[in-house]
Amino acid sequence: MLVENTQSNHRQIGSIYLGPGVSQVDKKTWDEQMVKGYKRSVDRLVDAGILSIKEDGKVTIAVAANTYDIPTLRAWLVDAKGPLKGAIKKQISSIIGDEAEKEAV
């Protein structure tokens, strides 16, 4: 599943660490944290527009452009095709620089 933190700060929900932008979160881990008592807080953050939860986990160009975690982007790059692959490469490049990306990919 994908969780978007719309603020520029980092946020922790139990054992889940969310950076700014989109983070990929294991559904089982998410559900475990909701059972442990974080659901009310998460619901308030969703209502306030601070968190956005996409349970389908579908990666789109817009999602890639709002993801700042390099390992997540590289994992998505493996299966990406066409314009999505280009958007992911562009995002990685914008974070770590063009020359570093040529060496990494």
Q: DSSP secondary-structure letter at 2?
A: E
Query: Strand, coil or helix: what is 58?
Result: coil
**DSSP H helical segments within 2-105, as ranges?**
27-33, 39-47, 61-65, 70-79, 82-96, 98-104
Q: Compute the average pLDDT of residues 93-105.
A: 68
CA pseudo-torsion sign 38, 40, 45, 51 = positive
State pLDDT tens for residues 16-74.
999 999 999 999 999 999 999 999 999 999 999 999 999 988 999 999 999 999 999 99
pLDDT at 102 (0 to 100):
55
pLDDT higher than threshold 60 for residue 83: yes
pLDDT higher than threshold 90 for residue 78: yes
Cβ atoms of 65 and 32 within 8 Å: the answer is no
pLDDT at 59 (0 to 100):
93
Give residue 44's Cα distance to chain centre.
20
pLDDT at 57 (0 to 100):
82
pTM, 2 dp: 0.81
